[in-house]
């Protein structure tokens, strides 16, 4: 038995509860991990609250990521004592996840904990930060250089947004942060934003094409925000779209794509191939200022995770939340 959050669906409805879990609940897997730290990402909050149908099997341990130590393995790449991290692969959705003290997973899903980070720091980054890096890599691959002009980050005070700002600033880009929380302007500027704009400037229905402003965009919001971001991206610029915090729709025109050669990159962290994951973690180790990471991170215990999940969906959580799973 071990401590964790378990989501059940039965006569009592959809319930997430901290409890002692029988290891027999865990699905098949060739590696058993003693989980030390996990995090709360947007998707975890959806799973814990049941607000969206993220969980596809019951009972389910939520938590789309974790850091911990291998205790047993029949996978050739891993042995007892190895420190590992996991992001995505349907963990916390279709396969029991990281918000419990033990996980059993496929060895193919794991990556080694980078030497630059402690388990806690790796989870302070978490799936949100790793996705922010996937977005940065997409803009870089497109050839966007700091001298090309401003890069817009939407949903700036959130997890992906906060890490994206810190990374872009470290790499020399001029970052414009779009937020609904202008009271967080000092926080966003401390992370590296040169300018903070009110998200209402982007969230209302806009014109099919507007004045060119952004060399690149990292969008976590979707809907009109993504459409307006595309409409105001400069000639041959690029937009990396990873989120839907403002809506899953995309009420846009083809004008920016066919008149300005704008490229829209879809960013998926869940099924990303191993080589890309390793590259992203290697670049996080190189390019993320750990002092900024600390400034955006708050620690909670497993017992607080359910309440904090609800607050996260209400836009009340700033930056990243790490969960001390080992501490209970």
> Residues 133, 156, 215, 309: which binds ligand NDP (CB under 6 A)?
156
Please count the other Cβ atoms lying within 10 Å of the Cβ belonging to residue 271: 8
Listed in sequence order, the residues at least 6 apart from 57 whose beta carbon sits closer than 8 Å to its beta carbon are: 94, 95
Query: 102 or 138, CB closer to ligand NDP?
Result: 138
Site string for ligand NDP, 13-52 (x = CB under 6 A): ----------------------------xxx---------
Tokens matching residue 62 = 């939520």
Query: 227 or 267, CB closer to ligand NDP?
Result: 267
279 phi/psi in degrees, rounded to 5: -65, -45
> Residues 73, 83, 131, 263: which binds ligand NDP (CB under 6 A)?
131
Q: Closest distance between ligand NDP and the C-beta of residue 69, in Å?
A: 25
Q: Does 315 bind ligand NDP (CB under 6 A)?
A: yes
Site string for ligand NDP, 182-221 (x = CB under 6 A): -----------------x---x----------------xx
Listed in sequence order, the residues at least 6 apart from 297 whose beta carbon sits closer than 8 Å to its beta carbon are: 124, 319, 320, 321, 322
Query: 70 or 175, CB closer to ligand NDP?
Result: 175
Query: 26 or 132, CB closer to ligand NDP?
Result: 132
Q: Does 138 bind ligand NDP (CB under 6 A)?
A: no
Instruction: Output the residue with the shortest Cβ distance to ligand NDP.
Output: 158
Q: Does 95 bind ligand NDP (CB under 6 A)?
A: no
Site for ligand NDP in 157-186 (CB under 6 A): 157-161, 179-181
Site for ligand NDP in 261-280 (CB under 6 A): 267-270
Q: For residue 242, give Cα distances in angstroms to 131, 138, 154, 204.
A: 8, 11, 10, 19
Start-to-end C-alpha separation, the chain: 13
Query: 138 or 245, CB closer to ligand NDP?
Result: 245
Distance of CA 312 to the CA centre of its chain: 13
d(CA 211, CA 206): 12
Site string for ligand NDP, 234-263 (x = CB under 6 A): --------xxxxx-----------------
- Number of amino acids touching ligand NDP (CB under 6 A): 33
Place of tokens 């509860």: 17
- Pick the closest to residue 237 from 167, 152, 178 (CA basis): 152
Query: 127 or 228, CB closer to ligand NDP?
Result: 127
171 neighbors 133 (Cβ within 8 angstroms): no
Place of tokens 């007892």: 80
Listed in sequence order, the residues at least 6 apart from 33 whose beta carbon sits closer than 8 Å to its beta carbon are: 66, 68, 69, 70, 71, 84, 86, 102, 103, 104, 105, 110
Query: 102 or 196, CB closer to ligand NDP?
Result: 196
- Pick the closest to residue 5 from 15, 16, 13 (CA basis): 16
Query: 29 or 92, CB closer to ligand NDP?
Result: 92
Number of residues assigned to the chain: 328
Give residue 90's region: left, alpha or beta (phi > 0; psi -120 to 50): left
- Pick the closest to residue 179 from 190, 188, 170 (CA basis): 188
Q: Closest distance between ligand NDP and the C-beta of residue 111, in Å?
A: 15
Q: Closest distance between ligand NDP and the C-beta of residue 190, in Å?
A: 14
Q: Closest distance between ligand NDP and the C-beta of residue 244, in Å?
A: 4
Which residues sit at the interface with ligand NDP, rule CB under 6 A? Answer: 41-43, 127-128, 131, 155-161, 179-181, 199, 203, 220-221, 225, 242-246, 267-270, 312, 315, 317
């Amino acid at each position: 038995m071990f401590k964790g959050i378990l989501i059940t669906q039965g006569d009592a409805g959809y319930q997430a509860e901290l409890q002692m879990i029988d290891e027999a609940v865990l699905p098949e897997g060739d590696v058993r991990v003693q989980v030390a730290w996990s995090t709360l990402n947007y998707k975890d909050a959806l799973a814990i609250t049941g607000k969206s149908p993220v969980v596809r099997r019951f009972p389910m341990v939520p938590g789309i990521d974790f850091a911990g130590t291998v205790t047993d393995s029949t996978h050739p790449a891993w042995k007892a004592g190895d420190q590992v991290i996991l992001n995505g692969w349907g963990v916390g959705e279709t396969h029991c996840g990281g918000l419990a003290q033990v996980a059993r997973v496929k060895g193919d899903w794991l990556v080694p904990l980078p030497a630059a980070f402690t388990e806690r720091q790796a989870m302070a980054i978490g799936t949100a930060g790793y996705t922010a890096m996937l977005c940065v890599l997409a803009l870089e691959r497109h050839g966007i250089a700091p001298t090309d002009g401003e890069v817009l980050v939407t949903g700036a005070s959130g997890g992906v947004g906060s890490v994206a700002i810190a990374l872009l600033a470290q790499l020399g880009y001029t970052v414009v942060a779009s937020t609904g929380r202008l009271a967080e302007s000092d926080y966003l500027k401390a992370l590296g934003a040169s300018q903070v704009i009110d998200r209402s400037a982007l969230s209302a229905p806009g014109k099919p094409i507007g004045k060119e402003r952004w060399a690149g965009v990292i969008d976590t919001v979707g809907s009109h925000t993504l459409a307006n971001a595309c409409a105001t991206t400069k000639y041959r610029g690029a937009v990396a779209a990873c989120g839907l915090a403002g809506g899953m729709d995309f009420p846009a025109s083809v004008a920016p794509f066919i008149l300005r050669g704008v490229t829209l990159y879809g960013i998926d962290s869940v099924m990303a191939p191993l080589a890309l994951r390793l590259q992203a973690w290697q670049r996080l180790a190189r390019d993320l200022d750990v002092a900024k990471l600390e400034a955006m991170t708050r620690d909670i215990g497993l017992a607080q995770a359910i309440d904090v999940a609800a607050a996260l969906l209400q836009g009340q959580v700033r930056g990243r939340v790490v969960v001390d799973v080992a501490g209970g």
